[in-house]
């Protein structure tokens, strides 16, 4: 089977991660371990691009960086990961995006993003990126609306599938302007922002998915529900894929990895349930380690996790003994 070229048009950040037992109250000072912080490559787009590359996709990352040392660090990482950055642009005025991430002992995080150059990706940049002739396009909402909308328009014109990880929550995003979408995937907060429904129960998830379906032209709505797993709606039926029972150290990037793996496996085998199971295992491995970038698993690590019988959702023999390309054997060709 031919390798798939995925065009990721999205954000790139450096993550300043601070670990703490708990976040401070307003006015409070907390003294933590001196080793308690780190700088990692990040950004929703960067994390997803790395996940695609580590799953074996021919990954093209169209992002915008500043002319600074953080940009050089990120470019070196993308090169190491085998990500094509011919369509990454350098902004002469804005700095590379930065995210400040507070991570508590329970694995929960709070993120503030300073978008910098990400905010200056233009529809022209998007048009230029399409000259790589992608097989599919992957988008997130951490870049300007016009760029996201233009990407769906060009993809629809070219007849290629679009996957949208609807993060971060954007109250004012004109969803109705998006072109045809294969999978639209918000998390719990994004679902609430886009629909006004908090996906607390199965019934709420269904109501929210139906409401989303009336706003976006998507084949599948996949709601990410954190440690509860994910909810898939195909316009008629729904399916729930439970999360893996693992000890969460840091959930940063779980959503980015989940949606990238979901999209890639779905593109390979056309089976949304099987794809969601692989994505669930990949996201579980992501939450078990600190930081987004250092915790993104390779395809082999996910397959090994499943083969070892550690996965409750992708059971051995069902998905675990075979690769997701099904009978066509992606592993053999590699
Ligand atoms: P992020 O933390 O990157 O913002 P998100 O909010 O976009 O993530 P989540 O719903 O938190 O997305 O997580 C995506 C997927 O990761 C879930 O559907 C689930 O499969 C997995 N996941 C998240 N948290 C946990 C956890 N504590 N234990 C196991 N799996 C988890
Ligand atoms: O989803 C996690 C990502 O969100 C972080 O890497 C941070 O950069 C923000 O974009």
How far is CA 133 from its chain centroid? Answer: 21
Residue owning the nearest CA to atom 14 of ligand 1:
255
Question: Does any ligand 1 atom lie closer than 6 A to the CB of residue 282?
Answer: no
Ligand 1 pocket test, candidate residues 109, 224, 245, most atoms within 8 A of CB: 224
Every domain of the chain and the residues it spans: 5-11+44-96+119-325
pLDDT for 33: 77
pLDDT for 321: 44
Question: Does any ligand 1 atom lie closer than 6 A to the CB of residue 226?
Answer: yes
Residue pair 16/98 in contact (Cβ under 8 Å)? The answer is yes
- Interatomic CA distance for residues 22 and 15, integer angstroms: 19
DSSP 327: G
pLDDT for 107: 75
Helix (H, G, I), strand (E, B) or coil at 42: strand
Question: Does any ligand 1 atom lie closer than 6 A to the CB of residue 311?
Answer: no
Element (H, E) at 305: helix 299-307
pLDDT for 317: 44
Question: Does any ligand 1 atom lie closer than 6 A to the CB of residue 252?
Answer: yes
pLDDT for 312: 67
Residue owning the nearest CA to atom 23 of ligand 1:
226
Residue pair 193/229 in contact (Cβ under 8 Å)? The answer is no
All residues at 6 or more sequence positions from 168 whose CB lies less than 8 Å from its CB, including other chains: 44, 113, 141, 142, 190
DSSP string across 83-121: -B-TT-EEESSSPPEEEEEEEETTS-EEEEEE-GGGGG-
pLDDT for 324: 66
Q: HSE-up of 33 (CA within 13 Å, CB side)?
A: 10
Residue owning the nearest CA to atom 9 of ligand 1:
226
Residue pair 294/50 in contact (Cβ under 8 Å)? The answer is no
Residue owning the nearest CA to atom 7 of ligand 2:
43
DSSP string across 228-273: G-EEEE-SS-EEEEPPP----S--TTHHHHHHHHHHHHHHHH--HH
pLDDT for 314: 64
> From residue 31, how far is each of 18, 19, 28, 38, 247 by CA, in Å?
12, 11, 10, 16, 25
Residue pair 206/174 in contact (Cβ under 8 Å)? The answer is no
- Interatomic CA distance for residues 285 and 243, integer angstroms: 11
> Is this structure's pTM higher than 0.85?
yes
pLDDT means per 10 residues in the chain (334 residues)? Answer: 92 95 93 87 98 98 98 98 98 98 87 97 98 98 98 98 96 95 98 98 98 98 98 98 94 96 97 97 95 95 89 56 48 31
Question: Does any ligand 2 atom lie closer than 6 A to the CB of residue 42?
Answer: yes
Which ligand 2 atom lies nearest to the CA of residue 15?
A: 8
Candidate CATH numbers 3.30.70.600, 3.40.1190.20, 3.90.550.10, 3.40.50.300; the one for domain 5-11+44-96+119-325: 3.40.1190.20
């Amino acid at each position: 089977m031919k390798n798939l070229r995925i065009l990721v048009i999205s954000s790139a950040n450096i993550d300043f991660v601070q670990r703490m037992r708990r976040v401070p109250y307003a006015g409070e000072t907390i003294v933590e371990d001196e080793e308690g912080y780190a700088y990692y490559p990040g950004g929703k787009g960067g994390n997803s691009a790395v996940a695609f590359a580590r799953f074996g996709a021919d990954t093209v990352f169209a992002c915008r960086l500043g002319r600074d040392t953080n940009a050089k660090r990120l470019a070196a990482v993308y090169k190491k990961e085998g990500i094509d950055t011919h369509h990454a642009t350098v902004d002469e005025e804005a700095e590379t995006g930065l995210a400040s991430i507070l991570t508590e002992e329970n694995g929960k995080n709070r993120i503030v993003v300073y978008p910098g150059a990400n905010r200056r990706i233009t529809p022209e940049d998007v048009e230029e990126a399409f000259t790589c002739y992608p097989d599919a396009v992957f988008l997130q909402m951490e870049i300007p609306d016009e760029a996201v909308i233009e990407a769906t328009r060009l993809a629809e014109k070219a007849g290629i599938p679009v996957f949208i990880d609807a993060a971060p929550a954007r109250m004012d995003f004109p969803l109705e302007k998006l072109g045809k979408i294969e999978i639209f995937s918000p998390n719990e907060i994004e679902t609430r922002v886009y629909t006004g429904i908090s996906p607390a129960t199965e019934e709420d998830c269904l109501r929210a998915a139906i409401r989303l379906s009336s706003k976006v032209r998507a084949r599948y709505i996949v709601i990410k529900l954190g440690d509860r797993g994910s909810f898939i709606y195909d316009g008629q039926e729904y399916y729930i894929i439970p999360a893996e029972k693992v000890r969460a150290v840091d959930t940063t990037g779980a959503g980015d990895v989940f949606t990238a793996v979901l999209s890639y496996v779905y593109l390979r085998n056309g089976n949304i349930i099987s794809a969601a199971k692989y994505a669930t295992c990949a996201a579980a491995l992501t939450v078990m380690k600190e930081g987004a970038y250092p915790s993104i698993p390779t395809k082999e690590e996910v397959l090994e996790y499943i083969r070892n019988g550690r996965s409750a959702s992708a059971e051995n023999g069902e998905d675990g003994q075979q690769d997701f390309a099904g009978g066509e054997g992606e592993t053999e060709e590699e």
